[in-house]
Amino acid sequence: MAYQHAPGGIVTPEAVRLDLETAGLGSRTAAALIDLTIQFSALYALGLAGALIAASVGPGLPGWLGVTLVLLLVFALLFGYPLALETLWRGRTIGKAALGLRVVTVEGAPVRFRHAFARAALGLVDFYATFGAAAVLSVLLSRRNQRLGDLVAGTVVLRERSAQRAPTSVRFAVPPGAESYAATVDPAGLTVDDYRTVREFLLRAPGLRPEVRADLAARIARPLAARVRHRPPAGVGPELFLACLAARYQRRGRAATAGVAHQPDDAPPAPTPIPEAGGAGGFTPPA
């Protein structure tokens, strides 16, 4: 499932519009300048410390060893800095975090080591071998503002923060009549990114066409049901499962914050409209 770029957002083939947009040249350049400043500042500080150590050791240090150490240090900072941060910080570096940017795959999934490795390797061409010209031209000419590293890795850089509106908190409630079933749903295996996907779907589901809504609910529900090791009984549709999963996840988070097993709701929950049973019958997660 690939995303398509559209003015003001990212649209999936199922016609679901996300509140994220690809980062343009200006924000990407600003983020890169922050990262480069950090890298070269660290390089200068380490180089100065190395010179002081070499001066204290005296002429006994072989010249080739000093050159090798300097080259390894430069490579570690220019290549290892983005590789380590984007892998461990889920697609962000310090510069990207400051500008509200994040790298994701073109399918919208978090980047992994192989994506960060390809981006860092091509970054040597994008930024250093061509003095940034390759990156600028690629971002300007590509449909989704991708530099060469993004095109090879299959990634895009998204803008997470927007000045248009602030995110609002939403509380999901177990649909009426599904309380006993919801008690069997354990959200322990759900990640934050999984919950965000469920949240986005539930908020936008009422505005989708029925066939698109049912298909997208099934696509999201099947892998999540396998992840939390839950097999819905017959007659439980994917959207009902997702609604109960979101409600249970939120309640589990509130209980953990309060340090108690259960915390009564103190605000009206968001409505969770569920289609009538029928065409969206039970579903079976992958084994």
Dihedral sign from CA coordinates of 101, 107, 109, 114: negative
Residue 4 and residue 10 in contact, taking contact as beta carbons nearer than 8 Å: yes
Angle of helix 210-227 relative to helix 192-204, nearest 10 degrees, comes to: 160
pLDDT of residue 138: 93
Q: How far apart are CA 161 and CA 127, in angstroms?
A: 25
State the pLDDT at residue 278. 40
Q: What is the C-alpha separation between 268 and 280, in angstroms, rounded? A: 28
- pLDDT tens per residue across span 54-66: 666 656 556 666 6
- pTM here? 0.53
Q: What is the pLDDT of residue 263?
A: 39
pLDDT score of 282: 53
Between CA 220 and CA 198 the distance in angstroms is 7
pLDDT tens digit sequence for 74-101: 888 889 999 999 999 989 999 999 999 9
d(CA 196, CA 216): 15
Q: Give the pLDDT mean for 218-243.
A: 92
- Cα dihedral sign for 219, 222, 227, 232? positive
* Residue given tokens 């049901």 in the structure block: 225
Q: Kindly indicate the confidence band of residue 194, based on its pLDDT and cuts at 50, 70 and 90.
A: confident
User: What mean pLDDT do residues 182-205 have?
Assistant: 90
